[in-house]
Each structure stands twice: as C-alpha cells, then as structure tokens.
C-alpha cells in the first residue's frame, strides 16, 4: 500500500479496505511502519504500547479470525522508542499471554539515522500460528544472515520493510537468499509511494524454499494471497537436509 505520511487513521482505513477485499486468509501482513511511514523522528507520532493502531489490529484479528502482522513506531513504558513488529492473534482462540507477540527491530538503519532516536531490540522472536512457526524481522535485518539463521526453529520468515526503489535488486536477491539458505518460505512485504526522503516501488513477494517468488506488480496497491505448503517443505528438508548440516557459530 501507499502510506499517507504520519496519518495513522487514514492508513488504518486503507489497510482495512485492502484486507477486506482480499481472499480469506489465516494471516495478513502489513509493511514497516505502515500506519505512519518510516520516520526517524518518532516523537509525536509514536503510539503507546496499547495505542489505537494495536487496538485496531486486535479488532481486525477478531473480525477476520486471523493473525495480523505489521510494524509501527511505539514509545515503550521505559521511555524508549522502538520499531516494533506486532503479531496479533484472535482473542477467542489464544491464551491471553499469546494474543499479542512482538519483535523490536534489532538492526537499526544507522545510514538513515534510525539509531539516533530508536532503541534496538535483542530478542530472536518466533511465533507459532496454525501449524506454522513464523520468524519475525524488519527491513534492514534482511541483510544479516547470521541473525536470521534458521536453527530448525521456523518454517516461514516474515520481513516487513520500507525498502527504497534504488535498492530493489538487493531486496529481491536477499529475499531469495534467505529462503534458500534457511529452507523456508519468506514473506517480504514492502510499501509503495513516496515519503519526504525516498520513493518505494513495492516488490512484495512470497518466496518458496527453492527461491522462486510470487510477486506483486511494482508501484501498484496490491493484495498478494498465497497458500504455504508445509508438507512440501517438510519433504524437501528431509530429502535435502541442509539445516542438519549447518555450521555451529
């Protein structure tokens, strides 16, 4: 989706319209800071840990009987700002402790000034949902294979991003590389449009464990729906056991 700069209510309405237009799914994934656009100055736009956008995600999860995943800027209870990727499940099917899970971006984008205002997270986060394990990462994390290394802990890597058009070749190559080396599906969700700093052409994709991608058309609002084949993935891992022969670091 295109993101209206620092207009959370407008972006929630856009996301809701797109999600309701989509084929019924178990999981809906939105891009990095999809409710405001990526800003390196979070004061004034960052929400509390139980702010309006998280509450909206919970309402949509309950309405759609699905998990909702997407990153927003938040101000944590300790006063620090975080680029936080929420994974929100329906309240009726989960225990209270597992309804809302999250990952705070570990590799902050120092080139763009993110380190000046945000605090990095240090947790390696994997979420279980309807028979699959999803590992969470945000944008710049995609460039760090050791951080994302699959220790036989996940079937799907989710990367939400605001990845500029000028570096789209890297985006495509890195999505495929992470899928191949980790024998996993990769869900790469990137925005389109412009903000005060960059242009974005999208390139959202579902990449299978062999590195083949199903993609959205560039520069267009798009809903991409895909069924993930766990049986096929397990058969591939058993036949070609790369993960069992990985290096210990």
pLDDT digits (tens, 9 = 90+) for 157-196: 999 999 999 999 999 999 999 999 999 999 999 999 999 9
What value does the mean pLDDT take over residues 224-229?
96
Q: How far apart are CA 206 and CA 86, in angstroms?
A: 19
CA angle in degrees (0–180, nearest 5) for 169-103-80: 105
Average pLDDT over the chain, rounded to whole?
96
Active site residue 89: no
pLDDT at residue 60 is higher than 70: yes
User: 72 to each of 3, 174, 236, how far by Cα in Å?
Assistant: 12, 23, 35
pLDDT at residue 92 is higher than 90: no
pLDDT at residue 62 is higher than 80: yes
End-to-end CA distance of the chain: 38
pLDDT at residue 249 is higher than 70: no
The predicted pLDDT at position 125 comes to 97
pLDDT range class, residue 40, cuts 50, 70, 90 = confident
Structure letter (DSSP) for residue 210: T
Cα 153 to its chain centre, rounded Å, is: 17
The predicted pLDDT at position 96 comes to 76
What value does the mean pLDDT take over residues 116-145?
97
Q: How far apart are CA 104 and CA 157, in angstroms?
A: 15
The predicted pLDDT at position 91 comes to 93
Identify the CA nearest to 81 among candidates 112, 55, 44. 44
Q: How far apart are CA 135 and CA 86, in angstroms?
A: 12
Structure letter (DSSP) for residue 246: P
Q: How far apart are CA 9 and CA 214, in angstroms?
A: 30
Q: How far apart are CA 228 and CA 217, in angstroms?
A: 20
pLDDT range class, residue 17, cuts 50, 70, 90 = very high
Q: Which is catalytic among the residues 139, 155, 159, 216?
A: 139
Instruction: Give the containing element (helix H, strand E) for 182.
Output: helix 168-182
Q: Which is catalytic among the residues 6, 32, 47, 155?
A: 32
Active site residue 231: no
**CATH number belonging to domain 8-245:** 3.60.110.10
**Of 9-13, 110-114, 124-128, 186-190, where does mean pLDDT reach its minimum?**
110-114
Active site residue 75: no
And the tokens for 195? 């903000």
What value does the mean pLDDT take over residues 35-47?
93
User: 238 to each of 77, 184, 243, how far by Cα in Å?
Assistant: 44, 13, 10
Q: What percent of the chain has pLDDT over 70?
A: 100
What value does the mean pLDDT take over residues 116-124?
96
pLDDT range class, residue 97, cuts 50, 70, 90 = confident
Q: Which is catalytic among the residues 69, 89, 105, 216?
A: 105
Strands 199-201 and 205-207, by their bridges, are unpaired
């Amino acid at each position: 989706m295109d993101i209206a700069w620092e207009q959370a209510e407008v972006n929630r309405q856009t996301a809701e319209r797109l999600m309701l237009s989509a084929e019924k799914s178990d999981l809906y994934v939105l891009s990095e800071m999809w409710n405001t656009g990526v800003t390196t100055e979070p004061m004034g736009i960052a929400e509390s840990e139980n702010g309006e956008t998280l509450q909206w995600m919970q309402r949509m999860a309950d309405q759609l009987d699905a998990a909702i995943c997407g990153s927003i800027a938040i101000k944590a209870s300790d006063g620090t700002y975080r680029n936080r990727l929420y994974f929100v499940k329906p309240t009726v099917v989960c225990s209270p402790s597992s309804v809302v899970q999250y990952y705070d971006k570990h590799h902050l984008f120092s080139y763009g000034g993110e380190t000046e205002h945000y605090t990095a997270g240090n947790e390696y986060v994997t979420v279980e949902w309807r028979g699959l394990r999803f590992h969470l990462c945000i944008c710049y994390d995609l460039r760090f294979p050791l951080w994302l290394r699959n220790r036989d802990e996940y079937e799907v890597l989710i990367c939400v991003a605001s990845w500029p058009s000028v570096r789209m070749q890297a985006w495509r190559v890195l999505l495929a590389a992470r899928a191949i080396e980790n024998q996993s599906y990769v869900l790469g969700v990137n925005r389109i449009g412009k903000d005060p700093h960059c242009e974005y052409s999208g390139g959202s994709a579902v990449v299978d464990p062999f590195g083949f991608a199903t993609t959205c058309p560039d520069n267009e609002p798009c809903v991409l729906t895909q069924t993930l084949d766990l049986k096929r993935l397990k058969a591939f891992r058993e036949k070609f056991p790369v993960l069992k022969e990985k290096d210990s670091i």
